[in-house]
Amino acid sequence: MSSATSPKLTPRLSERDHKQGPVDAPVTFVEYGDYQCPHCRQAHSIVRDLQERLGNRFCYVFRHFPISTVHTDAQLAAEAAEAAAAQGKFWEMHDYLYQHQDALDDEHLIQYAAELGLDTKRFERELRDHVYAERVREDFVSGVRSGVNGTPSFYINSERYDGPWDVESLLAEIQKPVGVQVRNLFQRFTRLQASGGILLLISTILALIWANSPWAHSYFELWETNLSITLGNFSLAEHLLEWVNGGLMVIFFFVVGLEIKRELTIGELSSPKRAALPIMAALGGMLLPGAIYTVLSAGTVGASGWAIPTATDIAFTLAILTLMGNRVPFTLKVFFTALAIADDLGAVLVIALFYSQDIHLAGLGPLGSPCWP
């Protein structure tokens, strides 16, 4: 049984794969197998049982993974299967190889080709010239990329299956309740590094569409929904918007404060030289839009809202960088992370200096001071 290191099938299925069953079947079952592996021979009969039980709901795909260091005839047997496929009889040879697993040398392979009614001269020539060695190697490489390091290895709907592979266990995995499948999908999503960025972007897009749609009134009514918590004689009731502003935002700024503290002590802002560029970038990103807004709104009631455009929302940039993964240079991620911290620091200062009635300086004591030499 494989102990794969990657949970995903790589690459995805394509026309080059050998399939049995409807390509649009709800269950796609991929096996990486070795024709000389005794465990694969056992799996062969189990797969046949699954096909009989599930019928058109089951699509079986076989990919080669010959472990030649252990099974000396496995590579040649895989090439024989491909030579048979070139004459339209892959699955017939596939079954034959497992039935005659104890004799897979070239002489016997040619004999099997004759018994299956293949053009034996062509078959023998292609086997001798290793015409399909590269095709087999492609399957093997795809298995390595998918985390296969033993046979048989199974993937159900492109997800690696690590459980026992008796018929009942496989059926239980394939036919597990929808609720369990949804829970597993959610767990896999939350493990993604980019999950936070994806949720941020989706939520923003949906909010913009909703707030500017014919149903905009329901969007604003949602924020005015009353939400209360009662515990004995204690009761706390606020609108949903107040819970966000007075509750979640407190947590948000607490986390921001921790990030700022870390960056000022041991991070990218721990020295004036390293902090200069991200701080200047953050200042420019705040002052310029704020100045433009002030000029355009001069003399109007909205002039006091100049702080709104100064919030550059660098979080969206970080979300996009996270989604792009390794395609973004690490140094660029470091720069934007430091810029985000500097931007958050500027936002906190704007709120504190221009939108607060009073500042309790004693509360700033535990934050400490930057460790700049």
329 phi/psi in degrees, rounded to 5 = -55, 145
Average pLDDT, the chain: 83
Judge if 106 and 176 occupy the same domain: yes
Judge whether 165 and 152 are in contact, CB under 8 Å.
yes
In a domain, 213, yes or no: no
| pLDDT in the model for residue 4 | 38
- Across the range 108-120, mean pLDDT stands at 96
Q: Which of 114, 111, 86 is nearest to 100 (CA)?
A: 111
- Residue 372's pLDDT is 43
Q: Are residues 119 and 262 in the same domain?
A: no
Output 16 or 275, whichever has higher pLDDT: 16
SS3 234: strand
CATH of the domain at 356: 1.20.1530.10
DSSP 23-84: TT-SEEEEEEE-TT-HHHHHHHHHHHHHHHHHGGGEEEEEEE---TTT-TTHHHHHHHHHHH
* Predicted pLDDT at 98: 97
Are 179 and 233 in the same domain?
A: no
What are the pLDDT digits (tens) for 180-192? 455 556 666 555 5
CA atoms within 13 A on the CB side of 286: 21
Same domain, 185 and 228: no
Task: Pull the structure tokens for residue 121.
Answer: 């001269």
Q: Which range of residues forms the domain containing residue 300?
A: 224-364
In a domain, 78, yes or no: yes
Distances (CA, A) of 308 to 9, 219, 246, 311, 313: 46, 21, 18, 6, 10
Q: What is the pLDDT of residues 16-60, one digit of tens each?
A: 999 999 999 989 999 999 999 999 999 999 999 999 999 999 999
Read out DSSP for 297-351? TTTSGGGGGTHHHH---HHHHHHHHHHHGGGS-HHHHHHHHHHHHHHHHHHHHHH
pLDDT at 124: 96
Q: Are residues 337 and 228 in the same domain?
A: yes
Q: What is the mean pLDDT of residues 330-344?
A: 73
* Confidence check: pLDDT of 121 > 80: yes
Cβ-based burial of 23 (10 A; exposed 0-12, middle 13-18, buried ≥19): exposed
Whether 6 maps to a domain, the answer reads no
Is there a single domain that holds both residue 25 and residue 168? yes
Confidence of residue 245 (pLDDT cuts 50, 70, 90): confident
Mean pLDDT calculated for residue range 229-247: 84
Strands 58-64 and 27-33: parallel
pLDDT band at 243 (very low <50, low <70, confident <90, very high): confident
Q: Which of 139, 163, 189 is the last residue of a domain?
A: 189
Specify if 199 maps to a domain: no
Inter-residue contact 83 to 130 (CB < 8 Å): no
In a domain, 37, yes or no: yes
- Whether 162 and 150 have beta carbons less than 8 Å apart is answered as no
What's the number of domains the chain is made of?
2
CA distance 350 to 100: 78
Answer whether residue 1 is part of any domain: no
CA 167 and chain centroid, separation: 29
For 360-371, what is the mean pLDDT? Answer: 56
Task: Decide if 151 contacts 40 (C-beta within 8 A).
Answer: yes
pLDDT band at 354 (very low <50, low <70, confident <90, very high): confident
Percentage of the chain with pLDDT > 90? 39
Q: Is residue 253 part of a domain?
A: yes
Residue 116 burial (10 A CB sphere; 0-12, 13-18, 19+): middle
CA 86 to chain CA centroid, nearest Å: 36
Read off the CATH number of the domain in which 163 is found.
3.40.30.10
Residue 340 has pLDDT above 70, yes or no: yes
Tell me the pLDDT tens digit for each residue of 130-182.
Answer: 999 999 999 999 999 999 989 999 999 888 998 898 998 898 888 775 554 55
Please give the pLDDT value at position 115: 96
Q: How far apart are CA 343 and CA 350, in angstroms?
A: 11
Whether 343 maps to a domain, the answer reads yes
The stretch 203-209 carries a mean pLDDT of 88
Binning pLDDT at 50, 70 and 90, where does residue 368 land?
A: very low
- Residues 343 and 239 both lie in one domain: yes
Q: Mean pLDDT lowest for which of 96-110, 125-139, 249-263, 285-299? A: 249-263
Count CB-CB contacts under 10 A for residue 235.
9
Claim to verify: residue 297 and residue 251 sit in the same structural domain: yes
What is the structure's pLDDT at 328? 72
- The pLDDT of residue 104 is 96
Question: Hey, what long-range contacts does 155-159 have (CB within 8 A, 24 or more apart)?
Answer: 155/9, 155/29, 155/30, 156/27, 156/28, 156/29, 156/30, 157/27, 157/28, 158/8, 158/9, 158/12, 158/13, 158/28, 158/30, 159/7, 159/8, 159/9
Are 62 and 95 in contact, with CB atoms under 8 Å apart? no
Do residue 181 and residue 99 come from a single domain?
yes
The secondary structure element, H or E, covering residue 6 is none
